[in-house]
Amino acid sequence: MNVETLEFIIHPDGRVQEKVTGIVGKSCREVTAAIESELGIVLTQESTSEYFAQQQHQSDTATTQVSSFSSY
């Protein structure tokens, strides 16, 4: 289980630095979009390795093998 965190550093000059961890793939942009629109203009963005990672989905697919036997 990953812990998703958003960290905000507010600098004395008013700049806000945002750091997102624990969110894999492009969904981090969906999470932060509303916050960023309220904060103001985004000057720069740096993607982390988590952004480029693939999400792993577990599958509960079972393989069934059916054997037919006939006796003559």
**Within 10 Å of residue 28's Cβ, how many Cβ atoms?**
19
Q: How high is the pLDDT of residue 5?
A: 92
Interval 4-57: pLDDT, tens: 999 999 999 999 999 999 988 888 888 889 888 988 888 888 888 888 887 555
Bridge partner list, 28: none
Classified as helix, coil or strand, 39 is helix
- Would you say residue 61 has pLDDT above 70? no
Please tell me the pTM assigned to this model.
Answer: 0.60
- Would you say residue 58 has pLDDT above 70? no
Token output for 4: 């998703």
Bridge partner list, 16: 10
Rg (CA), the chain: 23
Token output for 22: 């624990």
Q: How high is the pLDDT of residue 67?
A: 47
